[in-house]
Structure formats: structure tokens, C-alpha cells
């Protein structure tokens, strides 16, 4: 099963999203978190992201979801720090964090491959919430 | 010739510069950013020094010291300058191989590799009000001076002056990248914090590389 | 030959996040391709395997939906998903009768 990594400036945000995905998938999907700066303040740490990707990878790859700005830079740096084999199986998703992560998590729980998981995450870009 | 001690000296001077300019960097960042650039860099470079002094810097190669600094920066800074400066030092170190003594041409190539790393990571170009506006003129000045056969110290001070001028030139620019870009026109009239801290780093390098053993 | 069923959604939460996730996981157990239409709001079709597409239908309790399944196990799929949407009522019973005889 594809693993999910949640990257956020905030540990609380990332932890909450992990809880949501675990609830929706009955804990079947591996979700790892990389959030906060090294001293616990708001920020991101590329080395923590690299470690989270390695933990989340059970062989079928990892979809990475990020919040804003420097989280993306850190996630891109994190990919550079991975060994080559692992690097090929990690994909950053261009999606809003909460909705993208939830969609990715549910898709992963169906046993879908990494490309399908990313696609599910990125579909959240066009999601409208407020109906008629 | 530049050795590991020179690199270690650079990192110590860089840490001192960001610490003493912390409030200025914070104020610049408050005008057009999150107001955390000064604090983030101080934390990052303090961590770099902590890691460096815990080991034995003289025993490591310049490449190893630079890459170690890069890794600590990506981990500890917290904000965007972590991945950016971190990538700079990782690429800088990556261009040095196993050499323990670095000549001017090698250093210039390493600075160029670092600059290209920042460009790739941040995807910014000249004129977008980012640290590139200080790094690029600095590296170009360094390369020109080295190609013209100038001694390293002269070349480094030319780079430092170019970085400073580049940072000052960001003031009238409109930010097109990063947090400041959300402010659009309102980002005009403020010197870019990333370019400012870059000027400090290059100045610290010029001081470190001009030292006599 | 696709299997279709219309029903009024009885489950309290309709197809909001948690039930939608369960719906997706149930749909994935079957080979058939299943689509959902929200007849009350006019939204759809949404693939039963896409969480986000289902969420965008905005299905609430009381809405009428149409399930359309095509392929292997299409009847089983529709039955299982209809059950998740809650409640046996006259419409559902009639629908069940219709494909009891339709073969697998």
C-alpha cells in the first residue's frame, strides 16, 4: 500500500490530518508526519521529511502532501536527500493539504498505485465545498 | 589557499553576523514577510556552529564541513531560507571533492554551484527581489576577478561589495517570489531580507578567506 | 447491461466524509464500475471510487440518488452500496425485486 507523508509548519495540523486519515481508513494506511522546526516552533525540516518518507515507504511508494511556501521547498530538498531507489518512489502532490491528504489516504486504502494516489490528491484542487 | 580552517572561520563569522543583525533582518522581514528571518537564521547558524564545534573541524575536508553545514541549515532554520541556504552549502561542498586546499578557481566554481542550487530550489531569477539578487552579482564578480587573475582576497571583497550592492538594489523591486510576493506593490521600498542576509554571508566569507594563517 | 437503482438516502450523514470513505471502500470490493447521481441537486455522475467526486455531490439524508453499475458483480455492487445509504423502503424493495431475477 502507498504510504502518505504530511508536511506542515504545524505539528497540530499534521497530527490532526493523520488522525482524520486513520479514522477514514481504519488505520490501514501508513501515515507519517513531518512538521514543525527542530525546536518545536512553526516551520519545516527537510531532514525530518526525508526520514518520514523512508518510514512511510513499504515498497509501493509514498505520496507527500505539503502546506504552504517553505514546506514545498523543504519537501523538494528532502527528495534530494533520499537514496536513489527511494527517490523514484516518492511523489510530491500539488494539492491543498487537508483535502488532498484525505483523498490520497482513501485512494491508498483501496490498494491503488502511487500515480492514482497522486491523481486523487490533485483532484482536490478543483473541489468546491459549498453546494447549491 | 583555503582550507577547512577557513571554512570553519567563515561559518563562525556568518553566525556572528546573523546574530548581530538579527533584529535588522527581523525588521526587514516584518515589512514584507513573516518577521522571522532574523530569528530563523540565528537559530540555524547557531546549530551549524554547535554541530561543527562538537566535532573536530580541522580534521574534516572543506567539502564535509560545507555539507554538514548545509544539512544542519535545512533541518534547523525552519523557514524558506533553510532549504535555500542549506542547498547552497550542500552544492558548494559537492563541488569541492576531497580537496583539502582550495584555490581561487575551485572556490569560484563552488560558489557558482551553490548559486545554481539556490536557483533550482527557489526557482527565482534576477530582479524578483530574492537572495538571488545578491548571490548572482556576487558570484559573477568573483568569477570575473578570478578569471582576470586577481588574488583571492581581492576577488572575495569584490564579491562582497557586489552582494551588498545587489541587496540594496532590491529595495525598489516588486517581489515576485516567496512570501513577499503576496504583497505585490506594497513590497516596494523595502530591502529584501534574504538578499540582506546573503550580503552578510558573503562579507563573512571575504573576511574569513582574507585571514592569514 | 447496467444495473440501476434509485433510492432516497436514509442514512443520517448522507455522503459526507466518513460515510463517503466507507462507500468508496465498499465500491472498491467489486469489479463493476459504479456511478452515483444526486437527483435532488442534479449533481453527478460521480465515480463511486472517488472520494472527492462523491463529496462534491453533496448527498444528504433525504436526497434521492441513482446508482448505476456496469460490469462484473454489478448487482451485488448496487445492493451493497444501497444498503450503506441506509434503510429498506418501498423503492429499494422494488428495485431489489427487479434484479433478483436479472442474473449475476
In this structure, are residues C103 and C18 in contact, taking their beta carbons and an 8 Å threshold?
no
Chain A residues within 8 A of C52 when measuring between CB atoms: 99, 103, 120, 123-124, 127
Cβ-based interface (< 8 Å): residues of A facing C: 23-25, 99, 102-103, 106-107, 109-111, 120, 123-124, 127-128, 131-132
**Smallest Cα distance from C21 to chain A, Å:** 6
**Smallest Cα distance from A38 to chain C, Å:** 33
Of C17, C43, C55, the CB nearest to A127: C55
φ, ψ for residue A3, nearest 5 deg = -95, 160
Per-residue pLDDT of chain C (104 residues; tens, 9 = 90+): 788 999 999 998 899 988 999 999 999 999 999 999 999 999 999 999 999 999 999 999 999 999 999 999 999 999 999 999 985 554 555 556 665 544 44
Chain A residues within 8 A of C28 when measuring between CB atoms: 110-111
Q: Of B207, B201, B209, B193, whose CA–CA distance to B29 is shortest?
A: B193
Q: Which pLDDT value is given to residue C103?
A: 44
Structural domains in chain A, CATH included, are: 3-126 (3.40.50.510)
CA distance readout (Å), A104 to A29, A88, C50, C58:
10, 18, 10, 20
Q: Which chains would you list as touching A if contact means 3+ CB atom pairs under 8 Å?
A: B, C
Per-residue pLDDT tens over the stretch B99-134:
999 999 999 999 999 999 999 999 999 999 999 999
Of A41, A48, A77, the CB nearest to B86: A77
Structural domains in chain B, CATH included, are: 4-210 (1.25.40.340)
Work out how many domains chain C is built from and give that number: 1
Which helix (H) or strand (E) segment holds residue C43: the answer is strand C43-47
The three cell numbers locating residue C94: 422494488
CA distance readout (Å), C18 to A95, A103, C33:
20, 12, 21
Chain A residues within 8 A of B83 when measuring between CB atoms: 46, 70, 73-74, 76-77
CATH code for the domain in which residue C68 is found? 3.30.1340.10
CA distance readout (Å), B39 to A39, A74, A131, B1, C2:
12, 18, 44, 33, 63
Q: CB of C56 within 8 Å of any CB in chain A?
A: yes
A44: number of CA atoms within 13 Å, CB side?
A: 33
Chain A residues within 8 A of C51 when measuring between CB atoms: 102-103, 106-107, 120
In this structure, are residues C54 and C84 in contact, taking their beta carbons and an 8 Å threshold?
no
Assess whether C16 carries a catalytic annotation.
yes
Q: Which pLDDT value is given to residue A33?
A: 98
In this structure, are residues B126 and B136 in contact, taking their beta carbons and an 8 Å threshold?
yes
**Smallest Cα distance from B154 to chain A, Å:** 34
Question: Which domain range does residue C24 map to?
Answer: 3-100
Q: Which pLDDT value is given to residue C97?
A: 60
Q: Which pLDDT value is given to residue A39?
A: 83
Q: How many Å apart are CA B181 and CA B169, to the nearest integer?
A: 17
Q: How many Å apart are CA A20 and CA C42, to the nearest integer?
A: 29
Q: Which residues of A52-68 are buried (b: 16+ CB within 10 A; e: fewer)?
A: bbbbbbeebbbbbbbbe
Amino acid at each position: 500500500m502507498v504510504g502518505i507523508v504530511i508536511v506542515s509548519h504545524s505539528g497540530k495540523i499534521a497530527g490532526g490530518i493523520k488522525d482524520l486519515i486513520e479514522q477514514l481508513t481504519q488505520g490501514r494506511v501508513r501515515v507519517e508526519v513531518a512538521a514543525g522546526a527542530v525546536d518545536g516552533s512553526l516551520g519545516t525540516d527537510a531532514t525530518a521529511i526525508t526520514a518520514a518518507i523512508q518510514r512511510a515507504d513499504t515498497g509501493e511508494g509514498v505520496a507527500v502532501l505539503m502546506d504552504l511556501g517553505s514546506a514545498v521547498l523543504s519537501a523538494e530538498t528532502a527528495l534530494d536527500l533520499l537514496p536513489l531507489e527511494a527517490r523514484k518512489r516518492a511523489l510530491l502532490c500539488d494539492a491543498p493539504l487537508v483535502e488532498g491528504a484525505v483523498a490520497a489516504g482513501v485512494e491508498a486504502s483501496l490498494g491503488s498505485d502511487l500515480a492514482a494516489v497522486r491523481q486523487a490528491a490533485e483532484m482536490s484542487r478543483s473541489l468546491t465545498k459549498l453546494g447549491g | 589557499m583555503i582550507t577547512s580552517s577557513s571554512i570553519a572561520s567563515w561559518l563562525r563569522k556568518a553566525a556572528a553576523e546573523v546574530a548581530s543583525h538579527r533584529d535588522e533582518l527581523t525588521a526587514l522581514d516584518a515589512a514584507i514577510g513573516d518577521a522571522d528571518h532574523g530569528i530563523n537564521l540565528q537559530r540555524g547558524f547557531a546549530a551549524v556552529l554547535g554541530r561543527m564545534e562538537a566535532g573536530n573541524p580541522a580534521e574534516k575536508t572543506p567539502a564535509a564541513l560545507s555539507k554538514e553545514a548545509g544539512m544542519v541549515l535545512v533541518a534547523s532554520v525552519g523557514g524558506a531560507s533553510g532549504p535555500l541556504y542549506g542547498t547552497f552549502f550542500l552544492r558548494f561542498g559537492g563541488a569541492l571533492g576531497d580537496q583539502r586546499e582550495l584555490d581561487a578557481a575551485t572556490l569560484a566554481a563552488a560558489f557558482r554551484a551553490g548559486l545554481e542550487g539556490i536557483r533550482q530550489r527557489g526557482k527565482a531569477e534576477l530582479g524578483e527581489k530574492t537572495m538571488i539578487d545578491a548571490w548572482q552579482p556576487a558570484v559573477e564578480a568573483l568569477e570575473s576577478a578570478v578569471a582576470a587573475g586577481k588574488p583571492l582576497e581581492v576577488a572575495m571583497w569584490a564579491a562582497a561589495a557586489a552582494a551588498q550592492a545587489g541587496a540594496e538594489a532590491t529595495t525598489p523591486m516588486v517581489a515576485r517570489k516567496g512570501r513577499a510576493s503576496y504583497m505585490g506593490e506594497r513590497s516596494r521600498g523595502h530591502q529584501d531580507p534574504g538578499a540582506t542576509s546573503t550580503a552578510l554571508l558573503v562579507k563573512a566569507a571575504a573576511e574569513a578567506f582574507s585571514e592569514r594563517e | 447491461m447496467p444495473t440501476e437503482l434509485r433510492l432516497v438516502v436514509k442514512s443520517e450523514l448522507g455522503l459526507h466524509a466518513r460515510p463517503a470513505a466507507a462507500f468508496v471502500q465498499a465500491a472498491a470490493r467489486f469489479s463493476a464500475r459504479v456511478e452515483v447521481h444526486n437527483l435532488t441537486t442534479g449533481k453527478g455522475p460521480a465515480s463511486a471510487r472517488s472520494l472527492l467526486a462523491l463529496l462534491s455531490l453533496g448527498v444528504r439524508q433525504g436526497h434521492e440518488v441513482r446508482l448505476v453499475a456496469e460490469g462484473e458483480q454489478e448487482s451485488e455492487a448496487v445492493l451493497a452500496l444501497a444498503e450503506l445509504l441506509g434503510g429498506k423502503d418501498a423503492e429499494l424493495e422494488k428495485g431489489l425485486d427487479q434484479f433478483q431475477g436479472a442474473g449475476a
